[in-house]
C-alpha cells in the first residue's frame, strides 16, 4: 500500500467526521414529504426508466 492510498483514506475519514454532525442535523430538521411530493418524484423517474428500457429494446 503506497502513501497516496493511505493519505486518501485518512482524508476520507476526516471528511466523514466533518460531515456527520451536519448530516444528522439535516435529517432531524428536514421537512417531511407528502404523497403529492413523492408522486412528483416518482413519475419522472418512471419515465426515465421507461425511456432507457425502450432504448435497450431498440438495440
DSSP state of 44: H
Model pTM score = 0.51
DSSP state of 2: -
Residue 43's nearest CA partner among 35, 31, 53, 55 is: 35
pLDDT by residue (tens digit) across 2-42?
999 999 999 999 999 999 999 999 999 988 888 888 889 99
Amino acid at each position: 500500500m503506497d502513501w497516496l492510498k493511505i493519505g486518501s483514506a485518512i482524508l476520507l475519514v476526516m471528511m466523514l467526521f466533518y460531515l456527520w454532525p451536519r448530516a444528522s442535523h439535516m435529517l432531524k430538521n428536514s421537512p417531511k414529504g407528502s404523497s403529492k411530493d413523492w408522486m412528483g418524484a416518482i413519475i419522472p423517474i418512471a419515465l426515465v426508466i421507461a425511456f432507457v428500457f425502450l432504448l435497450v429494446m431498440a438495440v
